């Protein structure tokens, strides 16, 4: 089992080695593109989890289920905060290094010729 995991880690590292030949800006740009694709999905999941906790809190009658629903609400808010803070950190890194583009939709793609 350990050999399979080790082989998977080595094979998984090959795309990263291909990225190592580029500049730091191109690597950061690629990471920012992936983050900009993933973060909206994570925000949607966190908001859905929060809303599910609110629905459970409203519909519950006993204290134990209200306590569990309150925990879901708090965890949803914490998750949402962490995701948005991570997105902000990525934006700071992008602005620090002066990287342009990297969004899910790049402005250059929208130019009509």
Return the pLDDT at 15: 56
**Among candidates 91, 110, 111, which has minimal Cα distance to 102?**
91
Structure-model confidence comparison of residues 39 and 106, the more confident one: 39
**Among candidates 46, 90, 22, 81, which has minimal Cα distance to 104?**
90
The HSE-up count of residue 98 (CA atoms within 13 Å, CB side) is 0
| Confidence label for 6 from pLDDT (cuts 50, 70 and 90) | low
* Contact between 99 and 28 (Cβ < 8 Å): yes
- In angstroms, rounded to a whole number, what is the distance separating the alpha carbons of residues 31 and 105? 15
Measured CA to CA in angstroms, residue 89 lies from 29, 35, 45 at distances of 14, 11, 20
Structure-model confidence comparison of residues 104 and 71, the more confident one: 71
Estimate the share of the chain in helix, then strand, then coil, as percent rounded to the nearest 5.
Answer: 80, 0, 20
Instruction: Note the pLDDT tens digit of each residue in 19-78.
Output: 455 677 678 778 778 888 888 999 999 999 999 999 999 999 899 999 999 999 999 999
Instruction: Note the pLDDT tens digit of each residue in 82-96.
Output: 999 988 888 888 788
Please state the domain extents for the chain.
23-105
Return the pLDDT at 46: 92
């Amino acid at each position: 089992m350990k050999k399979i995991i080790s082989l998977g880690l080595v094979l998984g590292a090959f795309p990263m080695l291909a990225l190592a030949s580029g500049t730091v800006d191109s690597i950061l740009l690629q990471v920012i593109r992936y983050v900009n694709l993933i973060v909206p999905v994570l925000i949607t999941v966190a908001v859905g989890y929060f809303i599910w906790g609110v629905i459970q809190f409203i519909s519950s009658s006993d204290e134990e289920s209200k306590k569990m629903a309150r925990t879901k609400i708090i965890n949803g808010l914490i998750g949402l905060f962490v995701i948005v803070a991570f997105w902000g950190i990525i934006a700071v890194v992008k602005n620090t290094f002066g990287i342009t583009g990297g969004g899910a939709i790049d402005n250059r793609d929208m130019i009509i010729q």
